[in-house]
Structure 1
């Protein structure tokens, strides 16, 4: 079982770098998943003295490539030790792209991206996102996320992430993709991905403003008939949230 060091309020310091946008592409294949992460970072304007050294959290994964503002970095241009990812000299605002190789089938820590009962899913709270890609994994770094999931249509017919589906389509070799965009800033521990053979129930709901929306709850096919109580609770929760 993974244990985390305590983080005390008295030791808090604001982050040196903030993240504006996060664009993720998950290419899910048997035994390995390749993740391309594109981050727009900038120095924290509320801090007067900031080093030009970028320090981010990372997990035990393989880094395939690193690009800073379109320039490929060699292994000697950054440091990566399985805990910290460091680039020694970065500008005030820049784009960082990293490609990482994950093995969710072998992830027994159940943090980051793992596969359980044939379903790919993420656990990012409290510090699991760092096991997907290098990132300032802390709750005061808020960003907007776009996520594209690519997987086999037979084993993963359902591809879910945060926000709204922007685009979907078929690809060669019986594969398909869905792109999701979350318009609201959030910390990385709220990022979520689920891909697998899931069924769902759905029900219409009229919001307080009069818009009709569709609510869906996903589950394993053998459990989907058990979700009707959850749907009733979800409707009550949405109604309560709108009226309070």
Structure 2
């Protein structure tokens, strides 16, 4: 799991691409969006340490800025980037010390100095490491279409039955939290079977769903097993050959030793 993540609020332009490339060089995994609502949603993820905002996307400056500042956690830093000076209100020192206003695009030296001042990790990757980061990024097009019962990715659509759709919807709504075996047993079997037997059947069903989602896909694992506990949705990461990606709505997780169902359950 990445310990730190950067957020970018900006238009989908070549300038945002340039900023993204710079952060990748500094070993920052990132999520990029042009939606303030999505940005605020992602700010609740404790892995997010840096938030860069193109102020042109703040339609109601005072209200949007208030939303950002009240959502920002103490460990998070905010960079407001724009070519129009912002008439910022008087802010408490504890808030003002965690943010900076820079021109758009943020000058590399100024941004690097801000990161260093706040002891935020950044370093330049080797060319081979940069290439790997650019080949594998969070999938910007992962979504669930409940009407058509489809999980959609950059490279394909996966048709789901009602149970599979329910599981994916729950995993998405719980924002990456673990969906326990007990939850899955209740969903699939309503306690009609002994727990040991039901647990084994659940593992088989989840393994089938994992295989179905990743069959011939250019993405990394989408559902990961938390050993002995249950499952959760992971950020679908685009591999080489998949369209470049921007953001996602889940969590990554490391997998340990697994059984024939992809989990040691």
Whether TM-score is above 0.5 comes out as: no
The structure that has the greater radius of gyration is 2
Higher strand share: 1
TM, length-normalised to structure 2: 0.25
TM, length-normalised to structure 1: 0.26
Higher helix share: 2
